[in-house]
Every structure is written in C-alpha cells, then in structure tokens.
Amino acid sequence: MPELPEVETIVCELCPLTVGRGITDIEVLWPGSIAGATPEEFAARLVGRTIDGLTRRAKFLLFHLTGGDVLLVHLRMTGRLVLRSRGAAEERFAKVIIGLEGDEELRFTDIRKFGRLQLATAEEVVDLLGSLGPEPLAEEFGVAELKRALGKRKAPLKSLLLNQTLLAGVGNIYADEALFLAGLNPQRRPRSLSEVEWQGLHAGIRRALQAGIEDRGTTFSDFRDGRGRPGNHQDSLSVYRRTGQACPRCGGTIARTVISGRGTHFCPSCQV
Ligand SMILES: [Zn+2]
C-alpha cells in the first residue's frame, strides 16, 4: 500500500506535469472507483476545469481545481496514477481516464479496486480530512507534537504509528523502519518512553519517511510513480520483510511478529 513517501513521490512528479493544464474529458471504466457521485456528475464537474495545484495530505493526493473544487485521490492497496500520452498502449486495470490538454491523460488503474476518486468542495475537504493527525514531516512537527499525539495512548507503538487519526501518512513499512531507527521494540507502550527515546522516535519517523522519499518510494509489487516507474527504497530497508536476515546495526536476526493484525519486523537484540 502506498504510504506518505510513495504519495509524495507521485505528487512531486505530477505537479510540474499537470498544474496549469485543463481537463478535456473523462472516461469512467469502473464506476466503483468514484465516490460520492455518478460517473456523469463526476465528468460534468471536472471537464473544463484547470488544475491549479497538486498537494498531498496523509496518503491523499489533492488536485486543486479552478473554481475551488478539489479532486481527492486515495490509492489504497493497488491504485496507480500515471501520466501517459493519449496514444500510449492501454493500461491494464484502468478504471478512470482524465484527459488533459496537450494530448496526455492521467490514468487511474487499480487491480484490487479499493482506490477512490472523490470530487469535493473546499468545505467538504475540511470535513473529509478533518480527522487526520499531524503531518510528521511538517516543519512545526516536533517532539512535543509527537508526544501530544501518542503520549496518552495505551496501545503498542506499532499500532499507534499506523493510526491515521494520530499521525498522518505512516503505514506498515515506514512504521517498522521508524521503530528500528529509534531502537524501540514495536510492543513498547508510550508511557514507558524516556525523553531521549521520544526524541529517537521522532527522529526515526522523519528519517524513515525522508529516506523513502529520497529513493522515490518502495515497490514490492504495485507501487509506480507518476510516470509508471517503480521506486528504489525496497533495496534499502533495514527490517521490513527481512525476517531471518542479519540486523544491519547489531548483526542479530530480524524477527517477525503480528501486532494489531499487521506483520511487524524488528530486531529483538537492539530494539528494546
Ligand atoms: Zn539489531
């Protein structure tokens, strides 16, 4: 599932390629990918608009349109949003095609069909995204903000990092990597953390996410950037999906456990 670094990679790539361009036509191949509107309503509200901006919030892409509406895209499990020229070979599993001025189109493809496109007014966006926690890479997100988000909770750190209402954008891969960088066992509870450990967790979250962005995302199977290319970060992960391999820090053996139903990878020797 694409997490913050993967969505950020797509946004950074598509921003200069799509902002300022008009939407000429819409083709909905699977109506289930559209939330909150019929395909006809969706097309009628989009065609003729210009993309004024493209930003990210948590794991959402937000296309800001002339007139104030916002097209939200959530890729969920297997969604992809790729810019192609109109003549390019058809995408397998294409669900929605957004035609742009200049003979290119944004193709939303989705094998498992959990991804969604939703058109919203500026006020509706506030409601739709209002429950999300703070952005961990925001400049103003410091150790105090992290403690405020997680500090009073009783669940294991791993579960808390995945909770989008506490912290936005972190998923299974980067939660495991962040806890490794912090040297914290995923089962640890917030009340047991020392001040130094809070600082380590804050730094670990930001370093894990930043490293993912620098490598243009992690691809095990599905993730592709805005041009259809896989990411590179899968080659640099320390613990995620490395069960049985040597810990890059202490040489111990990476273990796997399940926390809140999610596979969790960690080094039992140096994550204490
Ligand atoms: Zn280790």
Range of the domain at 223: 143-266
Secondary structure of the chain in the HEC alphabet?
CCCHHHHHHHHHHHHHHHCCCEEEEEEECCHHHEECCCHHHHHHHHCCCEEEEEEEECCEEEEEECCCCEEEEECCCCEEEEEEECCCCCCCCEEEEEEECCCEEEEEEECCCCCEEEEECHHHHHHHHCCCCCCCCCCCCCHHHHHHHHCCCCCCHHHHHHCCCCCCCCCHHHHHHHHHHHCCCCCCCHHHCCHHHHHHHHHHHHHHHHHHHHCCCCCCCCCCCCCCCCCCHHHCCCCCCCCCCECCCCCCECEEEEECCEEEEECCCCCC
Query: Which one of 2, 5, 156, 186 is the catalytic residue?
Result: 2
Inside any domain, residue 136:
no
Q: Active site includes 135?
A: no
- The confidence score (pLDDT) of residue 248 equals 97
**Cα 272 to ligand 1 centre (Å):** 10
Boundary (domain end) residue, out of 129, 155, 186: 129
Residue that finishes a domain, picked among 102, 129, 156: 129
Distance of CA 192 from the midpoint of ligand 1 (Å): 20
- Pick the catalytic residue from 8, 13, 56, 59: 59
Instruction: Tell me: pLDDT of 1 over 90.
Output: no
Q: Give me ligand 1 centre to Cα 239, in Å.
A: 9
Distance from residue 256's CA to the centre of ligand 1 (Å): 13
Domain boundary at 96, 129, 162, which? Answer: 129
Shared domain for 202 and 90, answered yes or no, is no
CATH number of the domain to which 187 belongs: 1.10.8.50
| List 45, 113, 229, 262, catalytic entry | 262
Domain total for the chain? Answer: 2
Residue 85 domain flag: yes
Residue 10 inside a domain? The answer is: yes
State the pTM of this model: 0.96
pLDDT digit string (tens) for 64-115?
A: 999 999 999 999 999 999 999 998 998 889 999 999 999 999 999 999 999 9
User: What is the tens place of the pLDDT at every residue in 201-249?
Assistant: 999 999 999 999 999 999 998 899 999 999 999 999 999 999 999 999 9
pLDDT tens per residue across span 137-184: 999 999 999 999 999 999 999 999 999 999 999 999 999 999 999 999
Distance 212 CA to ligand 1 centre (A): 20
- Of the pLDDT bands very low, low, confident and very high (cuts 50, 70, 90), residue 31 is very high
- Judge whether 59 counts as a catalytic residue: yes
**262 and 206 belong to one structural domain:** yes
